């Protein structure tokens, strides 16, 4: 029997995306999977082990591929244009990254969320509450920008005018972040760059109204891998205040109905087992 083992190599957290993928591989398939951060751990792997590099790579002589989670100019990303010695087999997440010319030769993959666990059980809320969990408060470049100051200003105005509860979630552990999102009726990803992120996927899985600006190009990427468009409330930043007000004044039953449909969409089009199956196909190709 051939060895069915994959090792994920990462040097930064990457929003725990490799960790979620590794856990899902162990849960849903006959492959074994683990995470390593040290290039030295690649030296003595059993023959045939697939190494799945995430953003960065190191010397390895066995079957390998690399996946891009970040913009090419990110210092932690060894993009193919700047590092031609990267593995020939390349993946890119189905977000704005897949629209960039630097990643045009990559296979597009969905960003897996392990929502089949009690932490993500549906929690219909009756109290109007808007949640926002930006991964950064700062603008680094065009893509590394959550529109933090503008979004928080809008939330404060809505809170003051309508008495709506808001929860800006930053600098907390993952489980606490998800629990606080679960207590909201509406969640914002970001409305500035034109891309969704893991935050939107978590929100949809929690069965919440999910507000995000998704550009036509990024929407087309999602359609290419699911056959559907992402079921978010699409809003640019300059429309966000009106969008949130129109959403928050809806009866709780309407919000819950839309949220339940969001969760159903994730079950049908973003189920972790189906996504894992796609990754296994990529691994089998590099094994040959």
Q: What is the pLDDT of residues 119-151, one digit of tens each?
A: 999 998 888 899 999 876 656 656 566 678 899
pLDDT tens figures, 83-98: 888 999 999 999 999 9
Give the mean model confidence (pLDDT) for residues 215-226: 97
Would the CATH topology of 5-115+271-287 be identical to that of 118-269? yes
DSSP for the chain, please give it. Answer: ----EEEEE-SS-GGGHHHHHHHHHHHHSS-EEEEE--GGGGTTPPTT-EEEEES------SSEEEEE-S-TT-TT---TTT-TTS-SSEEEETTGGGGSGGGTTSEEE-------SGGG------S-EEEE--S-SS--SSSS---HHHHHHHHHHHHHHH--EEEE--S--HHHHHHHHHT-SEEE--SSSS---HHHHHHHHTT-EEEE---HHHHHHHHHHHSS----EE--GGGHHHHHHHHHTS-HHHHHHHHHHHHHHHHHHS-HHHHHHHHHHHHHHHH-
Domain 5-115+271-287, second-level architecture: 3-Layer(aba) Sandwich (3.40)
**What pLDDT score does 236 carry?**
95
The per-residue pLDDT for 84 is: 82
What residue spans define the domains of the chain? 5-115+271-287, 118-269
Single pTM value for the model: 0.94
What's the pLDDT tens digit per position in 25-43?
A: 999 999 999 999 999 999 9
CATH number of 118-269: 3.40.50.2000
pLDDT of residue 189: 96
């Amino acid at each position: 029997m051939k060895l069915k083992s994959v090792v994920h190599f990462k040097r930064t957290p990457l929003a725990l995306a490799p960790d979620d993928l590794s856990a899902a591989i162990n849960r849903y398939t006959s492959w074994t999977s683990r995470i390593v951060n040290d290039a030295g751990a690649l030296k003595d792997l059993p023959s045939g082990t697939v190494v799945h590099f995430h953003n960065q790579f190191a010397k390895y002589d066995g079957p390998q591929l690399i996946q891009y989670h970040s913009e090419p100019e990110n210092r932690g990303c060894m993009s193919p244009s700047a590092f031609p010695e990267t593995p020939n087999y390349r993946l890119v997440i189905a977000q704005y990254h897949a629209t960039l010319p630097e990643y045009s030769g990559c296979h597009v993959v969905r960003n897996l969320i392990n929502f089949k666990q009690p932490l993500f059980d549906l929690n219909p809320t009756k109290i109007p509450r808007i949640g926002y969990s930006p991964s950064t408060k700062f603008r680094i470049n065009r893509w590394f920008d959550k529109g933090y100051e503008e979004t928080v200003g809008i939330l404060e105005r809505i809170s003051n005018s309508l008495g709506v509860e808001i929860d800006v979630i930053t600098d907390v552990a993952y489980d606490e972040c998800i629990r606080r999102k679960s207590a909201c009726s509406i969640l914002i990803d970001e409305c500035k760059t034109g891309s969704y992120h893991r935050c939107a996927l978590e929100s949809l899985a929690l069965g919440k109204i999910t507000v995000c600006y998704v550009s036509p190009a990024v929407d087309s990427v999602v359609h290419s891998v699911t056959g559907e468009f992402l079921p978010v409330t699409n809003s640019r930043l300059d429309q966000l205040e009106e969008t949130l007000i129109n959403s928050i004044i809806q009866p709780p039953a309407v919000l819950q109905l839309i949220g339940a449909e969001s969760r159903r969409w994730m079950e049908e089009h973003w189920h972790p087992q189906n996504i894992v199956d796609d990754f296994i196909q990529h691994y089998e190709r590099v094994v040959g």
